[in-house]
Each structure stands twice: as C-alpha cells, then as structure tokens.
Amino acid sequence: MARIKFLFSRSHILFLLAILIGILLPQAAEIASVLTLPALTVILTITLLRFPRGFFRRHRPPLSGAIWGNVMNYLILGNLIIMASIFLIREEGFWVGMVLIAAAPPATTIIQLGNILRIDKQSMFSGMAGAYLGAALIVPLIGLGFLKFIPLNHFGLILLIAELTLLPLFLSRLAVDKDWDKLIENYKDHITDWCFFIIFYALVAGTRYLVIHRPLDVVYMFVIAAISTFLLGFIINLVGNYYGVAKEKISSLVFLGTMKNYGMAGAIALNVFNKQAVLPALVFSVVMFIYIIWLKYKMGNIIITDADTKSN
C-alpha cells in the first residue's frame, strides 16, 4: 500500500485525469487556455515560497550551484533538445515548440521531488535559482538565435516573460513579508496540483486533433523526450559515479539536467504561437510523468521499504 501511495500521488492522478478529460471533453479548451497564464503564475509563486525562508535575502545561492543549474538545464539539456530536433523535426510550428522547451527553466516539480527523495537540497535550490535568473538572459538569446526568421510580437513576448518571472517574485516576497505564506502552507500542494490540471487540460484539449492526425511527429517528439530524460539521466549518473561525486549531488544534477518546465513552454506556446507549437510541450510532459514515476521507484526504493516496514 505504501508503494502504491508513493508512486500514484494526487498530482499523478490529476495529470491522468487532465489527459483523459482533455481528449474526451475538449469543449472547454478556450476557457482553459485563458486560465493557463494565471495558473502558471500561481505555480511559480508557490514554488518560490517553497524555498527556505530568507534564502534569497540571507543565503545568496552559491555561485558554483547557480552555474551548474545553467550548465545542466541549458548547456546540456537545452542543446541536446535543439540538436535532436534539427534532425527529426521538420514542421515550423513543431520546431517553435521544441525551441520553447529548450529555453524553458527547470521543472518546479524538482523541489517537491527533492523533499521526498534523497538529494542535496542546497545544490537543488541554488541550481534552480541560478537557472531561473539565467533565463532572463538565455531565453532571449535562444529566441534570437533560433526564431529570428519567424514573425513575433517581441514586446508582448517580453511582457509575458516578465509576468512569469518578476510577478511571481513580487507576489512571493509580498506573501513572506505579510506572513501570508503561513496561511497557505497546508494548501500549497493542492493549489499547485489543480493549477497543473488546468494547464495540462488546456494543452491536451488544444492539441487533440494533432495527436490523432500527426502520430509520426508525436513519435519523433517522444523519442527526443525519452533521450533527454532516461538516456541523459543515465549518462549523468554514470559520469558522476566515475568522478566520485556524492549520490545526493548526482541526484540534484540529474533533476536539473533532465526536467524542464514544460507547463511554462506549453502555456507560452498556447498564448503566443499556435497549437502546433503546443504539441511538443504535451509530449514532453507525458514522458516526464513516466520519468518521475520511474525516478520515484528507483531513487525512493529505500524510503518505500522503510514505510512498508513501519506499516507492518
């Protein structure tokens, strides 16, 4: 029972429901797409509240950790996605979606995983903070480098990125200063899970037609996603063990180097580009869902065993 509860949490069930309802009942796609950005803003704000109190004010992220966050998320994972897409993705709309994924910062799920699995939390927090700060410079560079021939509302895109970075930072600091974070402490996971439900429902409902009628493109994206998670995670583990890096540190590097914020990439694609650009974010989200369950089983096996022992 402990094993089942550990692997199939509320967030996993809601993710599966979002996919099922999005396929069977896509009529609310337009309403959900409008709610994706507010939902994403809430998720990012709560993610910042998960950082240790005073982390940004009194404990500046170590430079080495911040650098490693950018190296793993952008230099390694981002470049791998771009290089694989050059060979496998031909449609312009799908290419835009792949570029958005490469430009996305690490997944917010990393913090929740780090709380239940054995991981170097200092490396995780500093890597996350560094990657999100680095996004302010790296995201525009990636856009200019790979999307320069595509007509864009650059001003609107800049405002959108500012909304998804500066606004959550302001709201989280306001919540901390006013002690509002203590009021929502017990509801953080519930709020985050339902916000993710809205986002993933919108992604599924909006791309339902493409999933059915473009199966080969879905397969190509699935292959790239699998390589950039399972294979890349295996390589990071292999290299880390070879150089004698502590397992907790390797785990944090694996998280930072294999999981991106696909919800953010999908929400931006849905509100700025077209539905073709949304499809890669959906496919990568499905692969990450499978990957997280696998990670929980593999890395959390000791925790599950302990829980089984206590329950007996």
Q: Which sequence spans correspond to the domains of the chain? A: 29-311
Mean pLDDT of the chain: 82
**Tokens at residue 33, please?**
């797409």
Tens digit of pLDDT for each residue in 261-303? 998 899 888 888 888 899 999 999 999 999 988 887 776 554 4
Residue 112: the pLDDT is: 76
Cα–Cα distance between 68 and 19 in angstroms, integer? 34
Q: What is the mean pLDDT of residues 231-250?
A: 90
Interior/surface letters 187-206, b for 16+ CB within 10 angstroms, e for the rest? eeeeebbbbbbbbbbbbbbb
Q: How far apart are the first and last CA of the chain?
A: 11
In the block, residue with structure tokens 């700025």? 272
* Angle of helix 109-116 versus helix 275-299 axis, rounded to 10: 10
β-partners of residue 260 are: 106
Say whether pLDDT at 308 is over 60: no
pLDDT at 186: 81
CA 196 to chain centre: 11
| 3-class state of residue 10 by DSSP | helix
pLDDT tens digits, one per residue of 105-126: 888 888 877 766 777 777 788 8
Under DSSP, the state recorded for 27 is G
64 to 68, 124, 202, 303, 309: CA distances (angstroms)? 6, 12, 37, 29, 39
Q: What is the DSSP letter of 268?
A: H
- Spatial separation of the C-alpha atoms in residues 37 and 303, rounded to whole Å: 35
pLDDT category of residue 6 using cuts at 50, 70 and 90: low
| Domain boundaries 29-311, corresponding CATH code | 1.20.1530.20
Share above pLDDT 70 across residues of the chain, in percent, rounded to a whole number: 82
Asked if 180 and 244 touch (Cβ cutoff 8 Å), the reply is: no
Name the most confidently modeled range: 22-26, 108-112, 166-170: 22-26
Model confidence at 4: pLDDT above 90: no
